[in-house]
Amino acid sequence: MPRHPLFSALLPSLPESGELPRALAGLFVPAPEKKRAETVRNARQGTGSVRRMTLPAEQNLPALVLMLEKDDFSTLRLRVRPDGEVVLRAPRFLTDAEALHFARRKRAWIERRKAEISALPDVFPYRDGAVFLERGERLTLRVTDEGLARTRVERRDGLLLVRGGPADEASVRRALRRYRKQEAREFLPRRLEELHLSVCRRLGDAAPMPDIVLRDLKSRWGSCARRGNGCAASYRITLALRLMALPPVLADYVMLHELCHMRHMNHGTAFHSLLERLCPGHRAMKRALRSF
């Protein structure tokens, strides 16, 4: 399979496996044994759906908001992401009521998992000498306390200088988050627009420019949501701020993945065919993302 021309050159810069946190695994539960082959076959001709649902409060448990994703899944999968968001993936042939009944039965597990995640220590050391990734490049933190009220961040010669204000980890963390958000706001929307226009020219279509939202996502790199149908449809692409840590070729892959969802709101054959056309070697890039 051909690779993106920049992929091989950037591969040596990827971090060694295990250096950075990975998404936590979900809970796999077999789907009901009753087969609904015709229903499934017909459903696969459509598109999947993603929407927020709410489980009502019960006993000593508060109401729970979760993301219900329905597509060509063969099992029910319940997952609590590192940012605390609860996601339930369900086969398309299941009704919302059936899917939510499953989530309701797993409330105790959900609460335990959320508590475990909240108790996890921060794995990134915000202190002098730590390694910080920006656009795939390893930058070494240099932290100095100059007694000023506000900490500032600047990049210079392979270093990420955090200087001016207090040098404690909490202050450095806040400064780096401000820095990354500012860098992301300046770069990611512009780059997504460039890729969007390039895809439209290549495909010869006039897909509308999507709304762009930047969020501090912990486990996902991005998502695409559709509002309306047909010519009246509009789209919103959400991108993770941590895309700024990736080598440019991998960040482009994530954005192209979401732009492909504007044409195919699922992960079916047509979607993967389009993604391979726009981003040759995308499966290798997907594997590389697991190291971040």
pLDDT for the residue 232: 67
Same domain for 154 and 218, yes or no, is: no
Same domain for 195 and 251, yes or no, is: yes
Sign of the dihedral through C-alpha 250, 252, 255, 257 = negative
Q: Is the pTM of this model over 0.85?
A: no
- Asked whether residue 90 carries a pLDDT value surpassing 80, the answer given is yes
pLDDT tier at 48 (50, 70, 90 boundaries)? low
Same domain for 12 and 51, yes or no, is: no
CA distance 145 to 158: 20
**224: alpha, beta or left, given left = phi > 0 and alpha = psi -120 to 50?**
beta
17-25 mean pLDDT: 32
Output the six-digit token pair for 39: 């229903």
Position 1 in a domain = no
Q: Give the strands of the sheet with 64-71, arranged side by side.
A: 27-29, 76-80, 86-91, 64-71, 49-55
Please tell me which of 15-19, 129-133, 270-274 the model is most confident about, judged by mean pLDDT: 270-274
pLDDT for the residue 17: 34
Q: Where among 73, 95, 119 does a domain terminate? A: 119
Same domain for 177 and 194, yes or no, is: no
Number of domains in the chain: 3
Q: Which residue has the higher pLDDT, 149 or 287?
A: 287
Which DSSP state fits 58?
Answer: B
- Do β-strands 86-91 and 76-80 pair in parallel, antiparallel, or remain unpaired? antiparallel
pLDDT tier at 29 (50, 70, 90 boundaries)? very low
Nearest by Cα to 184 from 225, 252, 239: 239
Among 12-26, 77-91, 132-146, the least confident range: 12-26
Same domain for 52 and 114, yes or no, is: yes
Position 209 in a domain = yes
Same domain for 111 and 146, yes or no, is: no
CA distances from 72 to 76, 91, 202 (A): 11, 6, 29
Same domain for 280 and 189, yes or no, is: yes
Position 275 in a domain = yes
Residue range of the domain that includes 36: 27-119
- Asked whether residue 254 carries a pLDDT value surpassing 70, the answer given is yes
Please tell me which of 22-26, 30-34, 232-236 the model is most confident about, judged by mean pLDDT: 232-236
Report the alpha-carbon angle 6-238-97, nearest 5: 125
Q: What is the CATH number of the domain that holds 233?
A: 3.30.2010.10
Same domain for 224 and 257, yes or no, is: yes
Among 40-44, 47-51, 54-58, the least confident range: 40-44
Mean pLDDT of the chain: 78
Output the six-digit token pair for 60: 């000593």
pLDDT tier at 19 (50, 70, 90 boundaries)? very low
Q: For 95-132, what is each residue's pLDDT tens digit? A: 999 999 999 999 989 998 888 877 655 545 677 888 87
In the chain, % of residues over pLDDT 90: 31
Among 85-99, 130-144, 205-219, the least confident range: 130-144
Looking at the chain, list the stretches that DSSP marks H as alpha helix, in order from N- to C-terminal side.
7-10, 37-43, 96-105, 107-119, 169-203, 248-261, 269-278, 282-289
Residue 266 burial (CB count, 10 A): 17
Q: Where among 139, 154, 181 does a domain terminate? A: 181
